[in-house]
């Protein structure tokens, strides 16, 4: 087990290296010039060139990459061209809103979707199953921003129950923190509820056709025990996998929600950095996302051992 | 007895102080037009940094809403008979946020840094022999020859503004961004509360010494009337509108045109036109690459362009746009229709005929369209359609604004990553005369992107800069426009305004060129 973990952790190094090289080259090959953005719309070619020089952008690509890779190896992700602060500090500053949103969305989605998925599988083909599948199709199809605006219009503007936008850090008080988190969480969780409910339904449906379920029923176990201790437990691996992928996607993919609710998280940071061609920030954030992906996948793999005794590392 | 009374009075005062609620801090929450990332208003021409500059710095002169230059930090000044020596005296009591007095040395260092970077500053400095401090509050500008735009340069309201900084800050190389945000303006930047991309905070400067005259434009009394200003960075226009309606913010600097109807319907919201001159839309040709290196082809294209088509498509709200057949903003002193016949009466048949006669060989023209910049995204689409109708082979290329900004600096042929046409908007204040109006210049490689090249036009601009006779300035400004249109440096596409949206309890918004937050109060 320990060897497996170490092997997986070592395997992240070439992954991150490839990501670093690819991202670096892609950014440099993509049109766009951070110096032109910084200089402003009325700047002359000469001023833009001066800024390029100040930022080191007129050096050969190999030199630029070498300097950046060297500082990353020393644990320094560099300094943002625009925000004029270390990228690591920028990520740390933007991490809390994104993590809070990801955790609350995952919790809400799991708490709602798994029971719904199990029930749908249990009553497969019945009205509950059909209604749930219908709703999950809608949940997939409605764009996040449409749902976000509808919720804001109803809950914030018409009823005046919750704030329209913004984020309050947990240090500013638990009440404001939760109040600002409810609408974004509801908006974002719909798609994940749909996804997890569908996967749960499929996995539990399959488990319910297995011999051990028939045996459990034959020996007179109550239906709830059959569903939870036998069907759900054996269907847990795909469900946990999709939850894990969901969390990883959430960390990097909350761009629209963060924009609609003006949440200063990592998603918005990434978009701002890309639009401004802030190379150090984009590189740093993508490296960070890659590391998070690898780590979450590792945790999901390790959880299989707990969920399925047949799996050994 | 008197001692007893004194004790009693003290007790009463203490009880009153305890019983009365402490005055709550007034906070003005503003959604600015963009995120503030660069703090140095000399290093960048970005408008958001200019607005930040006006919050924390003061200027020697300001420009009022009527375009008149008025003293700001300067108390009095005099000009020698030969108009080569300008002596300025600062107002009494001016001090920086750190408590140190503003002196002539600070002014000199600030002007020197600005004069190495700003187009108008560079021009002024080319006439300056030396600047010297006479005493703590007096400084002198010695010119090699008379220059007509000394005050206009010192009081210019748009980026880069000659803001006055402490000497230790202004000594920073103009190629390097400053770190120190000490100014002497009406607000103090609260650096520890600054979260780029989220929030910018300013506090009222209690030591600020305002002028006594009424605020107008960037001139007059700059009295901070709220304790704290917070710029809340909300990027999504709909979210900005929702936050204003819900009362979570007090003001939106530049609401999207399509949201004005919704904002207008809300009883708690008012729309205020703080910048009546507004913005001018324009179309720029690439003069160094075929086919627009040929003046006859440029003129054929110009004949096809119709301002109303652009304005209807881009803005759509009739009361917020107007046609303006001048390179200078309509309503400003130099506005004229001279040389503008082609666009006053656009004629597609004539455009087609001119194009046939021009020898156009069917070279495709590349029009760059920035899809992510809503305020100009539709202009290139209209240009493409009109030019196709005129007979051009058009390649309309969609891209994000930053790609466009980088690509427009390239002089390569359109087929190899260059370009033929792009559209943009200019703040009207940046187009007010032949010196500040960048797209009208034709100084070859030193010109703005598109690089028009015309010696006679540059001579006219230089002559305008030298004279301070208003009638002569007017004549030269007109001549500049006529020549600029003859050679097609660019095409003005009309003007539009972007009124500020504010809660109704927000009062005292100053009319001028852009949003300034002194004099604004929350009632």
Three-class HEC string of B229-263: EEEECCCCHHHHHHHHHCCCCCEECCCCHHHHHHH
Percent of chain B whose predicted confidence (pLDDT) is above 90: 77
Asked if A45 lies within 8 A of B233 by C-beta distance, the reply is no
A235 to chain B, minimum CA–CA distance in Å? 41
Q: Rounded CA gap, A212 and B486, in Å? A: 89
Asked if A262 lies within 8 A of B438 by C-beta distance, the reply is no
Of A285, A35, A73, A52, residue with least CA distance to A65: A73
Number of inter-chain CB pairs under 8 A, A vs B:
133
Percent of chain A whose predicted confidence (pLDDT) is above 70: 98
Return the residue in B47, B52, B246, B373 with the most chain A beta carbons within 10 A, the one to mutate for interface testing: B246
B243-248 LR contacts (CB < 8 Å, sep 24+)? B243/A164, B243/A165, B243/A166, B243/A262, B243/B31, B244/B31, B244/B269, B244/B501, B244/B502, B244/B503, B245/A157, B245/A164, B245/B269, B246/A156, B246/A157, B246/A160, B246/A163, B246/A164, B247/B503, B248/A163, B248/A164, B248/A165, B248/A166, B248/B29
**pTM, full prediction:** 0.86
Contact B491, B255 (CB under 8 A): no
Asked if A36 lies within 8 A of B402 by C-beta distance, the reply is yes
Q: Which residues of B touch A42 (CB under 8 A)?
A: 45, 119, 159, 430, 438, 448
Asked if A149 lies within 8 A of B195 by C-beta distance, the reply is no
Query: What's the DSSP call for residue B469?
Result: -
Query: What's the DSSP call for residue B102?
Result: P
Q: For residue range A244-288, what is the model confidence (pLDDT) as tens digits?
A: 888 877 876 688 899 899 999 998 898 888 888 889 999 999 999
- Contact of B412 with chain A, judged by CB distance below 8 Å, is answered with no
A87 to chain B, minimum CA–CA distance in Å? 12
Q: Which residues of A touch B197 (CB under 8 A)?
A: 83, 94, 264, 268-269, 272
Q: Of the candidates B242, B400, B438, which has its C-beta nearest A156's C-beta?
A: B242
Q: Rounded CA gap, B223 and B206, in Å? A: 10
B174 to chain A, minimum CA–CA distance in Å? 10
Q: Of the candidates B402, B406, B430, which has its C-beta nearest A42's C-beta?
A: B430
Q: What ipTM score was computed for the predicted complex, to two decimals?
A: 0.83
Asked if A277 lies within 8 A of B402 by C-beta distance, the reply is yes
Nearest CA in chain A to B241: A164
Residue A302 φ then ψ, to 5°: -65, -35
Contact A258, B232 (CB under 8 A): no
A213, two tokens: 């379920």
pLDDT of residue B206: 95
Q: For residue range B411-461, what is the model confidence (pLDDT) as tens digits?
A: 999 988 899 999 999 989 889 999 889 899 999 988 889 999 999 999 999
Contact A72, A156 (CB under 8 A): no
Asked if A31 lies within 8 A of B406 by C-beta distance, the reply is yes
Asked if A44 lies within 8 A of B238 by C-beta distance, the reply is no
Q: Which residues of A touch B238 (CB under 8 A)?
A: 149, 260
- Contact of B268 with chain A, judged by CB distance below 8 Å, is answered with no
pLDDT of residue B460: 97
Of B498, B241, B263, residue with least CA distance to B376: B498
**SS3 label, residue B318:** helix
A100 to chain B, minimum CA–CA distance in Å? 17
Bond preceding residue B160 cis, omega within 30 of 0: yes
pLDDT of residue B187: 98
Please determine, for residue A182, whether its predicted confidence score (pLDDT) is greater than 90.
yes
A44, two tokens: 């002359």
Task: Indicate the helix (H) or strand (E) that contains B443.
Answer: none
Task: Indicate the helix (H) or strand (E) that contains B60.
Answer: none
CA B506 to chain centre: 23
Task: Indicate the helix (H) or strand (E) that contains A182.
Answer: helix A174-208
Q: Which residues of B touch A272 (CB under 8 A)?
A: 35, 197
pLDDT of residue B11: 60
pLDDT of residue A253: 63
pLDDT in tens, chain B (523 residues): 456 666 666 565 555 555 454 568 899 999 999 888 889 999 888 889 999 999 999 999 999 998 899 999 999 999 999 999 999 999 999 999 999 999 999 999 999 999 998 888 988 999 999 999 999 999 999 999 999 999 999 999 988 899 999 999 999 998 788 989 999 999 999 999 998 888 999 999 999 999 999 999 999 999 999 999 999 999 889 999 999 999 999 999 999 888 999 999 999 999 999 998 899 999 999 999 999 999 999 999 999 999 999 999 999 889 999 999 999 999 889 999 999 999 999 899 999 999 999 999 999 999 999 988 888 999 999 999 999 999 999 999 998 887 888 788 889 999 888 999 999 999 898 899 998 898 999 999 888 899 999 999 999 999 999 998 999 999 999 999 999 999 999 999 999 999 999 999 999 999 999 999 999 999 8
Residues 452-481 of B with CB under 8 A from A: none
B160 to chain A, minimum CA–CA distance in Å? 9
B215 to chain A, minimum CA–CA distance in Å? 27
Q: Rounded CA gap, B244 and B249, in Å? A: 5
Residue B370 φ then ψ, to 5°: -85, 105
Contact B107, B171 (CB under 8 A): no
Pairing of strands B61-63, B69-71: antiparallel
Return the residue in B122, B158, B197 with the most chain A beta carbons within 10 A, the one to mutate for interface testing: B197
């Amino acid at each position: 087990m320990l060897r497996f973990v170490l092997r997986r952790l070592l395997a992240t190094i070439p992954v991150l290296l490839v990501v670093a090289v690819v991202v670096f080259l892609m950014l440099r090959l993509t049109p766009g010039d951070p110096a032109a953005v910084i200089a402003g719309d009325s700047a002359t070619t000469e001023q833009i060139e001066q800024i390029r020089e100040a930022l080191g952008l007129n050096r050969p690509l190999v030199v630029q990459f070498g300097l950046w890779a060297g500082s990353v190896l020393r644990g320094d992700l560099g300094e943002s061209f625009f925000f004029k602060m270390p990228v690591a500090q920028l990520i740390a500053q933007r991490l809390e809103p994104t993590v809070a949103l990801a955790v609350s969305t995952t919790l809400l989605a799991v708490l709602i979707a798994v029971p719904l998925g199990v029930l749908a599988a249990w009553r497969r083909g019945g009205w509950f199953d059909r209604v749930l599948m219908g709703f999950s199709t809608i949940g997939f199809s409605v764009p996040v921003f449409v749902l976000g605006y509808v919720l804001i219009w109803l809950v914030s503007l018409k009823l005046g129950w919750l704030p329209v936008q913004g984020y309050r850090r947990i240090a500013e008080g638990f009440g404001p923190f939760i109040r600002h988190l409810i609408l974004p969480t509801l908006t974002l969780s719909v798609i994940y509820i749909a996804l997890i409910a569908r996967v749960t339904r499929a996995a539990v449906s399959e488990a319910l056709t297995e011999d051990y379920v028939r045996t459990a029923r034959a020996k007179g176990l109550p239906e709830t025990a059959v569903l939870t201790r036998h069907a759900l437990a054996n269907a847990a691996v795909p469900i946990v996998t999709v939850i894990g992928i969901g969390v990883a996607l959430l960390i990097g993919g909350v761009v629209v929600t963060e924009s609609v609710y003006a949440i200063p998280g990592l998603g918005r940071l990434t978009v701002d950095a890309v639009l401004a061609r802030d190379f150090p920030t984009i590189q740093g954030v993508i490296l960070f996302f890659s590391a998070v992906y690898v780590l979450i996948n590792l945790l999901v793999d390790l959880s299989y051992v707990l969920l399925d005794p047949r799996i050994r590392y | 007895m008197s001692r007893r009374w004194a004790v009693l009075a003290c007790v009463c005062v203490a009880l009153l102080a305890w019983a009365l609620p402490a005055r709550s801090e007034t906070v003005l929450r503003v959604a600015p037009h963009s995120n503030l990332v660069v703090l140095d208003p000399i290093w960048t021409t970005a408008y958001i940094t200019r607005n930040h500059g006006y919050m924390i710095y003061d200027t020697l002169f300001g420009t009022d809403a009527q375009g008149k230059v008025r003293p700001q930090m300067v108390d009095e000044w005099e000009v020698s008979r030969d108009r080569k020596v300008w002596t300025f005296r600062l107002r009494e009591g001016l001090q920086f946020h750190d408590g140190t007095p503003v002196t002539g040395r600070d002014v000199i260092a600030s002007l020197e840094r600005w004069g190495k970077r700003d187009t108008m500053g560079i021009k002024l400095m080319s006439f300056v022999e030396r600047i010297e401090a006479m005493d703590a509050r007096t400084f002198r500008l010695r010119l090699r020859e008379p220059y007509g735009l000394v005050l206009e340069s010192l009081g210019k309201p748009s980026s880069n503004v000659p803001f006055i900084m402490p000497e230790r800050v202004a000594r920073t190389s103009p190629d390097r961004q400053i770190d120190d945000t000490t100014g002497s303006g009406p607000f103090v930047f609260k650096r520890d509360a600054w979260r780029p991309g989220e929030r910018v905070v300013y506090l009222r400067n209690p030591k600020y010494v305002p002028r006594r005259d009424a605020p107008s434009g960037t001139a007059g009394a700059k009295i901070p009337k709220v304790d704290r200003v917070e710029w809340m960075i909300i990027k999504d226009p709909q979210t900005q509108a929702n936050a204003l309606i819900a009362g979570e913010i007090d003001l939106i600097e530049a609401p999207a045109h399509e949201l004005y109807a919704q904002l207008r319907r809300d009883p708690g919201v008012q729309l205020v036109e703080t910048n009546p001159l507004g913005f001018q839309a324009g179309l720029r040709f690439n003069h160094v690459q075929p086919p627009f290196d040929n003046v006859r082809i440029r003129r054929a294209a110009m004949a096809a362009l119709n301002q109303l088509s652009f304005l209807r498509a881009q803005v759509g709200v009739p009361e917020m746009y107007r046609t303006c057949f001048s390179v200078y903003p309509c309503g400003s002193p130099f506005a004229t229709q001279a040389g503008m016949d082609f666009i006053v009466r656009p004629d597609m048949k004539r455009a087609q005929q001119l194009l046939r006669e021009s020898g156009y060989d069917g070279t495709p023209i590349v029009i760059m369209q920035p899809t992510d910049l809503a305020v100009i995204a539709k202009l290139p689409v209209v240009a493409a359609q009109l030019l196709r109708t005129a007979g051009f082979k058009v390649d309309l290329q969609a891209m994000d604004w930053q790609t466009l900004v980088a690509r427009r600096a390239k002089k390569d042929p359109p087929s190899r990553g260059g370009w033929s046409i792009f559209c943009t908007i200019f703040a009207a204040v940046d187009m007010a005369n032949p010196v500040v109006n960048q797209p009208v210049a034709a100084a070859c490689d030193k010109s703005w992107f598109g690089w028009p090249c015309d010696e006679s036009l540059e001579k006219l601009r230089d002559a305008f800069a030298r004279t301070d006779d208003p009638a002569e300035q007017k004549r030269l400004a007109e001549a500049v426009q006529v020549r600029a249109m003859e050679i097609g440096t660019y095409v003005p596409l009309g003007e539009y305004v972007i009124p500020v949206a504010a809660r109704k309890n927000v009062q005292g918004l100053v009319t001028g060129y852009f949003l300034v937050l002194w004099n604004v109060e929350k009632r």
